Structure 1
Amino acid sequence: MPSSKLAERGEDPQAKRERRKEARPGELLDAALDLFVEKGYAATRSEEVAARAGVSKGTLFLYFPSKEELFKAVVRENMSGRFAEWEEEFAAFEGSTAEMIRYCLRVWWERIGATRASGITKLMISEARNFPELATFYQQEVIRPGTDLMRRILQRGVDRGEFAPIDVEYGVYALVAPMIFLIMMKHSLGACAPQDYPLDAQRYVETMADLLVNGLCARAEAPRGRA
């Protein structure tokens, strides 16, 4: 921002520059998230991240020695770092498993899907095969703990007799697929959708939860000998 503009807002340009020199890692991660989502991993340059955060490239490398390490930090900050919180919620949840599924889908949308962080998933779908080390990292940090948590949610419902016995290993995909579709609509496919038929994300999440829960519970309640 030009010095004249800073002056108009009552800010000291020199103080502004000094503050930016001391940018914290959180500001760098925020700038990196913006650029990774906007441009993708391959097209984002470290110097662009530094410029977006208002610091030198050297300052960026003091915290993150490579673009790969910067990306990993962005994923941990916005996605994988949340699993400890979600594990605690899972352990303390006292409602039915049907209520838990509805809660999980809604909270996932509020905390990840509706935020800029959802662009990380789209980025990985697009670029994972070009960066196998990042794909391995993402699998270990996000996909494995995520699928493990969902597997245990489904197993909880089966063990408590709330759901019919199912193959929980593959049942996980029934929870994941609707969310992936919603991310792709937000970041890619939405541009191709008819403009007079907008997708209401909240309504979509609630509908998918209804379909999943009603199907699982209906099978559990079916009389013996009937599907």
Structure 2
Amino acid sequence: MVSNTAKRVMPQRARKEEDKEARRRQLLDAALELYRATSYDEVKMADVAERVKLAKGTVFLYFPTKEALFLALLEEQLFAWFARLEEALGRSEGRWTGARVARTVAETLEGEEPLTRLLARLQTVLEQNVTVEQVRTFKERLLEAVVRAGTLVEKRLPFLKAGEGVRFFLHVHALVVGLRQMADLAPVVREVHAAAPHLEPLRVDFTRELTDALTTSLRGLEAR
């Protein structure tokens, strides 16, 4: 038999958990807004706190470091992308080729600059000042998502051997990191390009180059 005290405590705990999740959601949304408008280096924890009208110390109760906050933001963005990609790969209409898979991956990343920019900082910044628990949770989720997506790619492309779908996404990650850095021009470089049209061949179109690189990679595996 449940006491009246327990009945009163349980809803209060639930509300507290809901309040904590709502506050965490506010902090992530604020960080994303600031990141879209500036850059990782320019976003300060104090700015995030001010955006949601909280004391800076309160922010650290939810995210002990800036890296922890942005790793959580990356995690949210990344797994939302994996969900969209799995949905796209799950569509059965038409014939699937390496070129189609490559195009699907690249097009689902189009317009996802915050995600691709954060991926470019994952190993060098975001995983450097966070807890073992946060990284372990992230890596476990990442492995599950990569295996699911890799299995779907293997089903779409029978020329891939077991396990090569996972390796494909390791290559996707490497290409995304490199091409995002190349595509994001510093202000001074944009100024130079604007004044020197003959430098246009050096400009990187992220979606086009990612599509071409992945297509070439998959065609090579198919032709072996």
| Match in the other structure for 2:207 | 202
Amino acid at match of 2:118: I
Q: CA RMSD in A?
A: 3.9
**Unmatched tracts of structure 1, length 5 or more:** 1-22, 220-227
| Match in the other structure for 2:13 | none
Q: Are the structure 2 counterparts of residues 210 and 35 from structure 1 closer, same or farther at C-alpha, using a change threshold of 3 Å?
A: closer
Q: Are the structure 2 counterparts of residues 38 and 175 from structure 1 closer, same or farther at C-alpha, using a change threshold of 3 Å?
A: closer
Q: How many residues align?
A: 186
Q: How far did 1:49 drift?
A: 0.8
Q: Are the structure 2 counterparts of residues 80 and 215 from structure 1 closer, same or farther at C-alpha, using a change threshold of 3 Å?
A: same
Amino acid at match of 1:201: F
In the aligned structure 1, how far is the partner of 2:97 from the partner of 2:137? 30
Q: How far did 1:104 drift?
A: 1.6
| Match in the other structure for 2:108 | 107
Does residue 214 (structure 1) correspond to residue 219 (structure 2)? The answer is yes
Does residue 86 (structure 1) correspond to residue 85 (structure 2)? The answer is yes
Aligned to 1:116, the other structure's residue is in SS state: helix
What is the TM-score with the length of structure 1 in the denominator? 0.61
Task: Percent identity, please.
Answer: 18
Q: Are the structure 2 counterparts of residues 155 and 87 from structure 1 closer, same or farther at C-alpha, using a change threshold of 3 Å?
A: same
Q: Are the structure 2 counterparts of residues 103 and 190 from structure 1 closer, same or farther at C-alpha, using a change threshold of 3 Å?
A: farther
Written as runs of structure 1 = structure 2, the 5 A alignment for 1:23-62 is 28-33=27-32, 34-35=34-35, 38-40=39-41, 45-51=44-50, 53=51, 55-57=53-55, 61=59
What is the TM-score with the length of structure 2 in the denominator? 0.61
Moved over 6 A (4+): 188-194
1:97–1:153 CA contact under 8 A, matched in 2 = no
Aligned to 2:39, the other structure's residue is in SS state: helix
2:74–2:119 CA contact under 8 A, matched in 1 = no
Amino acid at match of 2:176: M
Amino acid at match of 1:124: L
Q: Are the structure 2 counterparts of residues 59 and 83 from structure 1 closer, same or farther at C-alpha, using a change threshold of 3 Å?
A: farther
Q: 1:185 aligns with which of 182, 191, 198?
A: 182
| Match in the other structure for 2:123 | 125
Amino acid at match of 1:170: R
Q: Are the structure 2 counterparts of residues 54 and 130 from structure 1 closer, same or farther at C-alpha, using a change threshold of 3 Å?
A: closer
1:35–1:49 CA contact under 8 A, matched in 2 = no
1:122–1:183 CA contact under 8 A, matched in 2 = yes
